[in-house]
Amino acid sequence: MNDEFRRRSQELAPALVAWRRDFHRHPELGFQEIRTAGIVSAHLRRLGLEVRTSVGQTGVVALIEGNGPGPTVFLRFDMDALPVTEATGLPFASQHAGIMHACGHDGHTAIGMAVAQMLVETASDWPGRVKLLFQPAEEGLGGAAATIADGVLDDPRPDLAFGLHLWNPLPLGQVVAQSGPLMAAADRFTLTITGRGGHGGMPHTTVDAILVAGQAVTLLQSIVSRNLPPHEAAVLSVGTFHAGEAFNVIAETAVLTGTLRTLQPAVRATLIRRMEEMLDGLTRSHGASYTLELADHTPALVNDPDATRLAAAAAAAVVSPAGLTTLAPLMVAEDMAEFLARVPGCYLLVGARPEGTAAEPHHSPRFDFAEEALPLAAAILAATAVRALRGEDE
């Protein structure tokens, strides 16, 4: 059915572009995707599907039944925009100041609508069923977890899960479908160091939280370089450092926040253990104290080898085998990982860099992608789903 999906997705290309540009004009932040979810729901209902709305606040779920008993394949598309002020100058630029589809989720939503349409049209040709999720709030707000808490993985429970991201670092026509860790686990940390405030001219009567926190920043940087094996990937970044209220006062507290990125749970555990050990020793030596809080954990995104073989075969059939490429795991996080931690599957990256241009990074106010990637991505995902349902590996 690769040829059929390739042909049909090209017929749907004008609709894909129109949907995408409409979503782009009217971006909505996470958990506020009311208009977007409404357009998706109306489209799915027009296709004759029963639609469940308000899943994880603003998510949309529908089931497409095939021609008989079989597995359940889960497809996920994210819908949210970012708090970014658009600077593309495109004719279909955001009409809402301070909100922009700067990650390509407008494209993902449109792709999901086309995939739904192609799977409904071919449902008599494959067994089992496809569960579609149009997910809210991917951008760090916990949308995946919200839909899971709302039962998206229950009744029926999916056997395999797939999703994709349009990816500007890759040129149009290239696809990454690789097994193992693809994106990092992420944790937000908040470090509070407490000393004893006092007079700036009488430091011997104080414990200077700024001095201790400054040493903490440099000390923590030694964990990745000196406590982890060099071939293990990890990032520890301090993003904010707030302390002090007056030039002649020794600060009593310093509050630092940052992010940890890891690909392996054991590396994450080492990172956290060494942070605690170093902060304990450091603050003790100064007579200060500390608290370290971790929050907003997203697991690493890990692709299952069997599911990846299916997705790679589908992608190769759509874009040609030469279009398949690989890359070093990315230290960005993606909450598709929440689904793949529970259901084996594969998350693909579909090249979307406009030809002859330098890639404008995702989340940039000048971000745009090649719309030719929309039908390719839709065909790849529809073909992947059908291969998974039929158990085809070739």
Q: How far apart are the C-alpha atoms of 71 and 55, rounded to whole Å?
A: 22
Binding site for Zn ion (CB under 5 A): 103
Active site residue 306: no
Which three-class secondary structure state does DSSP give residue 65?
Answer: strand
Nearer to Zn ion by C-beta: 103 or 316?
Answer: 103
Tell me whether residue 378 or residue 389 sits nearer to Zn ion (CB atom). Answer: 378
In Å, how far from its chain's centre is CA 76?
Answer: 11
* Nearest approach, Cβ of residue 1 and Zn ion (Å): 28
- 21, 22, 367, 373 from 91: Cα distances, Å: 9, 11, 14, 19
DSSP-derived secondary structure letter, 82: B
Nearest one of 185, 183, 181, 169 to 350, comparing CA atoms: 169
CB of 103 to Zn ion, least distance (A): 3
Query: Which residues fall within 8 angstroms of residue 373, CB to CB, at 6 or more apart?
Result: 107, 166, 172, 350, 351, 352
Kindly name the residue from 78, 138, 139, 368 that is annotated as catalytic.
Answer: 138
Instruction: Please identify which of the residues 28, 80, 187, 371 carries the catalytic annotation.
Output: 80
Q: How far is CA 241 from the centre of its chain?
A: 26
Tokens 């909505």 belong to residue: 28
Whichever of 104 and 195 has its CB closer to Zn ion, that residue is 104
Q: Is 159 assigned a catalytic role?
A: no
| Closest distance to Zn ion from the beta carbon of 362 (Å) | 5
Smaller CB distance to Zn ion: residue 237 or 320?
237
Please report how close the Cβ of residue 115 comes to Zn ion at its closest, in angstroms.
17
Q: Give me the active site residues, please.
A: 80, 138
